[in-house]
Amino acid sequence: MKTLKLAAVVSSLALMSACGSSSDKQVKADAVYQNGYVYTVDASKSVAQAVAVKGGEIVYVGSNDGVQ
């Protein structure tokens, strides 16, 4: 149950941060997680491969190529 709540919170944060980000702006992340299975919990039940984090905030969710 805790894992499900954590996944929902992380996914929600990922969606919110993705909505406000600009695709042409490059940011140096503190941590990049690649080759994963990121369940976004959006209406289309899409899945991402990579997540980038900077300053404790998710700054990117998407493909391995896009996180480079």
Res 10: pLDDT: 67
- What are 32-63's pLDDT values in tens digits? 999 999 988 889 888 999 999 999 999 999 99
Q: Domain limits at 27?
A: 2-67
The domain spanning residue 40 has which CATH number? Answer: 2.30.40
Q: Angle CA(47)–CA(31)–CA(59) in degrees, nearest 5? A: 60
Please state whether the predicted TM-score (pTM) of the whole model is above 0.75: no
Average pLDDT of span 12-25? 60
State the total domains in the chain: 1
